[in-house]
A = this chain, B = another copy of it.
Amino acid sequence: MNVILASTSTLFGGNYLEYLTNELVTLFKGTDEIIFIPFARPGGISHEEYTKKASDFFETLNIKVKGLHEFQNPVEAINHAKGYFTGGGNTFLLVKTLHELGLMEVLSNNIKQGKAYLGCSAGSNIGGINMKTTNDMPIVYPSSFDCMGLVPFNLNPHYLDPNPDLKHNGETRETRINEFLTQNNIKVVGLREGNWIRISGNNITTEGSEETRIFEPGKAPYELQPGASLV
């Protein structure tokens, strides 16, 4: 496989996808056109607006972007495409739409056959076993929480360390993931902003500027250095 699952599309103070530019040149080498999956609709923006945003960035890499919503037959479009990018936004809306259109397995099969895939945030969540470790609000009811399972674990994008100064009794991210572990026997990779998971052939590594926090049932959470293997 040839995959990047990134915590975020945009670093604080940076431009859209800018920090990943070099990685994306490698990921999409030899590809002049990709399909953008805009279904997560961050902030409720339209499929058209969102595709324009992705397209504007990929133009700088001489890669043409087509929005999946533009196709009459999205299954055929996925099967014919050379590579994919799924943008962030709301994971529930993304997963619901992919299941409704019968695309989750189709996309997964194409990626497992070696086609390049970039996911950011919600688009990374769907690379995991299921979406049960998303941070998003359940604004719609998907027919299933199952995802593509490109990796043998779940992801928590935008992983945030507890803030000891916060006078607020909402759960910390770590508390939420520990609650997940009481109900599921699945490893969770907490991806801090600036980090991504790289699948290259049979290798799965954690990459980026930060350490990556790993949660496993019955173990204390621990940190992995950039470049560490995740399998």
Footprint of B on A, CB under 8 Å? 8-13, 41-44, 89-90, 92-93, 131-141, 144-145, 158, 160, 167-171, 175-184, 193
Contacts and interface: CB of A to CB of B under 8 A. Distances in A.
7 contacts: A44-B178, A44-B182, A90-B176, A135-B137, A135-B170, A137-B176, A160-B168
A14 to B, nearest CB: 9
Contacts of A179: 41-44, 89-90, 93, 137, 139
Contacts of A176: 90, 136-137, 139
Contacts of A138: 92, 131-132, 134, 138, 145
Nearest to A175: B43
Contacts of A178: 43-44
Given A134-B138, A139-B184, A183-B93, A42 B171 contact: yes
A145 B92 CA distance: 12
Nearest to A133: B137
The 3 A-B residue pairs whose C-beta atoms are closest, nearest first, are: A44-B182, A158-B170, A12-B167
A12 B164 CA distance: 12
A143 B137 CA distance: 17
Given A42-B171, A43-B179, A141-B144, 10 more contacts: A8-B169, A13-B167, A43-B171, A43-B178, A44-B182, A89-B179, A90-B176, A133-B137, A168-B193, A169-B193
